[in-house]
Structure 1
Amino acid sequence: MTDGALLRRVIDAIAPDPRIGALAAGAHRYVAERLDRDPAAGEVRAGLDTLAGDAAQADLAARLADVEDTPWFRHLCRWVAEGLYADPGQGGNRGGMVWDALGYRHGLPEGPDGPPWRTPPPAQRPPADEGWDAVVVGAGAGGIVAATEMAERGFRVLLVEKGRHLSYRDSGRRDHLRNHRNAVYGTNTGPPAERDRRVAADGDGAAALVRPHEAGYADNAPCVGAGTFLYGGLAWRFHPDDFRMASRYGVPEGSSLADWPVDYDTLEPWYGRIEQAVGIAGPRGALPHEPYRSTDLPLPPVPRYRSARVLDAGAAALGIETFTPPLAVNTRRRDGRAACIECGSCVGFPCPVDAKNGTQNTLLPKALATGNLTLCTETTAERVETDDTGRVTGVRLAWLDDGALHRRTVASGIVVLCAGAIETARLLLLSASSREPDGLGNGTDLVGRNLQGHTYPLAFGRFEEDVATSRGPGPSIATTAWVHGNPGIIGGAMLADDFVMPPVMFWDTALPDDLPRWGAPPHRFMAECYRKVAHLRGPVQEIPTPVCRVTLEHAYRDHLGRPVARLQGVVHPETQRTAAFVCERAKDWLRAAGAGDVWGSPQAPRLSAHQHQAGTCRFGTDPQSSVADPYGRVWDHENLFVADGSLHPTNGAFNPVLTIMALALRTADHIARRFDGGMRVRDA
Structure 2
Amino acid sequence: MTSPSTADLLTTVVDAVVPADDYPSASESGVLDFLQRLREHERPEWGRRINAVVASVDAASWRIAGNGFIGLDQQRQQEVLDGLADDAEFGWFAQLINLAYYGDNARSATPPRSWEMIDWRPGPPGGWPTKLPPVPFHTDGLIGPEQLQSRYDAVVIGSGAGGGAAAQVLAESGRTVLIIEAGDGPETSKLDHDHLRNPRINTGLTPWSGPLGAGHPRTLELGGDRVAVGQSDPRWGNNAFTVGGGTRVYGAQAWRFAPKDFRMASEYGVPDGSALADWPIGYDDLEPYYSEAEWRFGVSGLGSGDPWSGTRTRDYPMPPVSGIGNPAALAAGAQRLGWGTLPVPLLVNSSEHRGRSACLHCAQCVGFACPVEAKGGSHNTAIPAALATGRGFLITNATAERVITDNTGTVTGVALVGDDRSGQWRRQVTAGEVIIAAGATETARLLLLSAHDHEPNGIGNNTDQVGRHLQAHLYAGALGVFEDEIFTLEGPGVSIATCDFRHGNADLVGGGMLANEFVPTPSSTFDYLVSAGVFPPYGPRAKDGMRQWTRRMTRVVGPIQEVTSAESRVRLDPDVRDRYGNPVAALSGALHPSDLRARDFMTERAAEWLTAAGASQVFAAPPGGGGPNGPSTGQHQAGTCRMGTDPKSSVTDPDGRVWGHDNLWVADGSLNVTNGGVNPVLTIFAGALRVADRIAGGVLNG
TM-score interval, normalised by the smaller of the two chains: over 0.9
1:1-46 CA distance string (max 9 Å, x none): 8444444433332223665252585155446535753422233334
Match of 2:605 in 1: 585
Match of 2:78 in 1: 61
2:251 to 227, 232, 255: 232
Please tell me whether residue 594 in structure 1 is matched to residue 614 in structure 2. Answer: yes
CA change 1:111–1:315 in 2 (3 A) is closer
1:185-217 CA distance string (max 9 Å, x none): 111122123121111223x13222111121211
Task: State how far apart, in whole Å, the 1-side matches of 2:130 and 2:592 are.
Answer: 44
Q: Secondary structure, in 3 states, of the residue corresponding to 1:408?
A: strand
Match of 2:214 in 1: 194
Deviates more, 1:295-304 or 1:52-61: 52-61
1:120-171 CA distance string (max 9 Å, x none): 96763363434221111111101111111111111111111111123312x3
CA change 1:148–1:595 in 2 (3 A) is same
Is the 8 Å Cα contact of residues 133 and 371 (structure 2) preserved in structure 1? no
Q: CA deviation at 1:119?
A: 11
Supply the AA of the counterpart residue of 2:208.
Answer: N
Match of 1:11 in 2: 14
1:274 to 276, 293, 306: 293
Task: State how far apart, in whole Å, the 2-side matches of 1:618 and 1:326 are.
Answer: 27
Aligned residue pairs total: 672
Task: State how far apart, in whole Å, the 2-side matches of 1:611 and 1:35 are.
Answer: 26
Please tell me whether residue 84 in structure 1 is matched to residue 90 in structure 2. Answer: no
Match of 1:103 in 2: 119
Task: State how far apart, in whole Å, the 2-side matches of 1:289 and 1:474 are.
Answer: 24
1:212 to 228, 231, 243: 231
Task: State how far apart, in whole Å, the 2-side matches of 1:259 and 1:495 are.
Answer: 24
1:408-437 CA distance string (max 9 Å, x none): 211111111101100110000000001110
1:161 to 181, 197, 204: 181
Equivalent runs, 1:122-141 vs 2, <5 Å: 124-125=144-145, 127-141=147-161
Task: State how far apart, in whole Å, the 1-side matches of 2:431 and 2:650 are.
Answer: 25
Is the 8 Å Cα contact of residues 2 and 45 (structure 1) preserved in structure 2? no
Is the 8 Å Cα contact of residues 147 and 367 (structure 1) preserved in structure 2? yes
Task: State how far apart, in whole Å, the 2-side matches of 1:581 and 1:25 are.
Answer: 45
Is the 8 Å Cα contact of residues 645 and 660 (structure 1) preserved in structure 2? yes
Q: CA deviation at 1:534?
A: 1.4
Equivalent runs, 1:344-383 vs 2, <5 Å: 344-383=363-402
CA change 1:24–1:303 in 2 (3 A) is farther
CA change 1:577–1:4 in 2 (3 A) is same
1:265 to 262, 279, 284: 284
2:640 to 616, 619, 628: 616
Give RMSD over aligned pairs.
Answer: 2.4
Q: Secondary structure, in 3 states, of the residue corresponding to 2:434?
A: strand
CA change 1:118–1:329 in 2 (3 A) is closer
Deviates more, 1:579-588 or 1:391-400: 391-400
2:50 to 20, 44, 49: 44
Structure 1: gaps (5+ residues): 676-684
Structure 2: gaps (5+ residues): 60-66
Task: State how far apart, in whole Å, the 1-side matches of 2:287 and 2:438 are.
Answer: 25
2:664 to 620, 640, 653: 640
Q: CA deviation at 1:82?
A: 2.2
Supply the AA of the counterpart residue of 1:41.
Answer: G
Is the 8 Å Cα contact of residues 306 and 499 (structure 2) preserved in structure 1? no
Task: State how far apart, in whole Å, the 2-side matches of 1:502 and 1:379 are.
Answer: 33
Task: State how far apart, in whole Å, the 2-side matches of 1:488 and 1:47 are.
Answer: 46
Is the 8 Å Cα contact of residues 580 and 601 (structure 1) preserved in structure 2? no
Q: Secondary structure, in 3 states, of the residue corresponding to 1:653?
A: coil
Match of 1:424 in 2: 443
Match of 2:679 in 1: 655
Task: State how far apart, in whole Å, the 1-side matches of 2:147 and 2:252 are.
Answer: 33
Q: CA deviation at 1:633?
A: 0.5
Please tell me whether residue 439 in structure 1 is matched to residue 458 in structure 2. Answer: yes
Q: Secondary structure, in 3 states, of the residue corresponding to 2:365?
A: coil
Task: State how far apart, in whole Å, the 1-side matches of 2:215 and 2:657 are.
Answer: 32
Q: CA deviation at 1:257?
A: 0.2
Is the 8 Å Cα contact of residues 40 and 75 (structure 1) preserved in structure 2? no
1:251-295 CA distance string (max 9 Å, x none): 001110000011111111110111110010012557443231111
Q: Secondary structure, in 3 states, of the residue corresponding to 2:155?
A: strand
1:230-250 CA distance string (max 9 Å, x none): 111101110110000000000
Equivalent runs, 1:255-654 vs 2, <5 Å: 255-284=274-303, 287-305=306-324, 307-402=326-421, 404-511=423-530, 512-513=532-533, 515-602=535-622, 603=624, 604-605=627-628, 606-654=630-678
CA change 1:90–1:64 in 2 (3 A) is farther
Taking only the aligned residue pairs, the percentage that are identical comes to 42
Deviates more, 1:327-336 or 1:108-117: 108-117
Is the 8 Å Cα contact of residues 300 and 347 (structure 2) preserved in structure 1? yes
Please tell me whether residue 20 in structure 1 is matched to residue 23 in structure 2. Answer: yes
Is the 8 Å Cα contact of residues 306 and 498 (structure 2) preserved in structure 1? no
Deviates more, 1:497-506 or 1:396-405: 396-405
CA change 1:631–1:126 in 2 (3 A) is farther
CA change 1:301–1:17 in 2 (3 A) is farther
CA change 1:235–1:671 in 2 (3 A) is same
Is the 8 Å Cα contact of residues 285 and 293 (structure 1) preserved in structure 2? no
Supply the AA of the counterpart residue of 1:86.
Answer: G
Task: State how far apart, in whole Å, the 2-side matches of 1:513 and 1:543 are.
Answer: 31
1:43-102 CA distance string (max 9 Å, x none): 3334435628613234233333444444553343123202321143357x9743211221
